[in-house]
Amino acid sequence: MKLHPLQETWRWFGPKDTVSLADIKQAGAAGIVSAMHHVPHGQLWSVEDIQKRKEEIERAGLRWSVVESIPVHENIKTRSGNYKELLEVYKQSLRNVSAAGVKTVCYNFMPVLDWTRTELDHTMPDGSKSLWFDWVSLALFDVHILKRKGAEQDYDAATLQKAEHRFQHAEKKWLDILTENILMGVPGEASIPLEQLLKSIEIYKAIGGDGLRENLAFFLESIMDVCEEQGIKMTIHPDDPPFDILGLPRIMSNKNDLIYILKKVDRMPNGICFCTGSLGAGKDNDLPDILKAVGDRVYFVHLRNVRKEKDRSFYEADHLDGDTDMYEVMKELLKIQQSRKEPIPFRPDHGHQMLDDLNKETFPGYSAIGRLRGLAELRGLAMGISKSIVIGD
């Protein structure tokens, strides 16, 4: 039986990306995941800008498969200020990317911060470098640098003691790098100032988890008509990491969260970006089980792996060598794919900085060779499963 394959894609941050479209073509990807990172959040993505990006991608012999992402402005997440105007702008941006033929859009609803890491170049035993999230370092930042009111209540005594000791013995340069790492936005976009983070924490404290869920549902209901008219699939990215940090609520962190929003806004354009790295950092998350539960609404996939520590710390492992059983995830993805007419796009998410890339300036997690290794491993895994009989089990 000939099986329908997934679509291999690669994230590209535009002309300023240190990994070129020619590099991506050689890596074996067919589709590009990209966005207008130079456009400030809340502003319209113009037809001209979108078309220019599309033509640049197509000249390289590739296809713009997924928009990641059209950022959701903070006023929409908090349903405050000029959120109604921003919703209209968002809907027009959706129409504009649809007119260019891009029909899958990834986004997140994480408060203030996007993905959060405490170290961007943690040296692995083999000499490569990985992204790292260290719970003690986060506590240090929260209590001693951010100085969030009531922060101590979110950590146990042992963590607070370690954080205090580390703070007292840390060099200023290290503390500055830690702060920069936590406040960092998406590559190519601006980081958030410390003062603004403190103000936002107070805003979200008043909204709470339930309020944020309601605001997400409101956002989705507001754009669903446009998505249905344009044939757009919206895919929400899980929280990264998938637990509360810095007093900010998380609402897309586990199986129940994903099922809740799919049922709350039960319309086909409302879908999931299944990120095995984000969900995999949750100690109780069974990823194959989650995928079986929400697979009919998974329209985009990020494949990466993490290894978790006893506390909430984790580091990004090789794609086939973390706590997530990538074999079972891939097998389930291929089963889901067989019921689809269009291939589900996936990309090798993040990757170790290794080999020649150790001497280059690259976006954290997005060097070329580490992702090339990940893509090769994932393609091989998919082919092996496809050619075996287990897909029919």
352 included as an active-site residue: no
83 included as an active-site residue: no
Residues 6+ apart with CB under 8 A from 292: 332
The tokens for 99 are 């007119």
Alpha helices in the chain (DSSP H): 21-27, 47-59, 74-77, 83-99, 135-140, 157-169, 172-183, 194-230, 255-264, 276-280, 287-294, 326-337, 368-386
Hey, how many other C-beta atoms are within 10 angstroms of the C-beta on 199? 10
Q: How far apart are CA 132 and CA 148, in angstroms?
A: 23
DSSP-derived secondary structure letter, 40:
P
CA-closest candidate to residue 255, choices 286, 214, 222: 286
349 included as an active-site residue: yes
Catalytic residue among 37, 122, 302, 319: 302
366 included as an active-site residue: yes
The tokens for 350 are 């993040």
Q: How far apart are CA 257 and CA 248, in angstroms?
A: 16
Helix pair 287-294, 255-264: axis angle to 10 deg: 10
Catalytic residue among 275, 318, 319, 352: 275
CA-closest candidate to residue 376, choices 16, 83, 26, 124: 26
Partners of 347 in the β-ladder: 302
Catalytic residue among 17, 240, 257, 349: 349
Contact between 87 and 222 under an 8 Å Cβ cutoff? The reply is yes
The tokens for 390 are 């287990």
Q: How far apart are CA 240 and CA 302, in angstroms?
A: 12
Contact between 197 and 64 under an 8 Å Cβ cutoff? The reply is no
Catalytic residue among 23, 350, 352, 357: 350
Catalytic residue among 37, 237, 319, 352: 237
Hey, how many other C-beta atoms are within 10 angstroms of the C-beta on 153? 7
Contact between 321 and 346 under an 8 Å Cβ cutoff? The reply is no
CA-closest candidate to residue 371, choices 19, 133, 6, 106: 19
106 included as an active-site residue: no
* Active-site residue list: 237, 275, 302, 349-350, 366
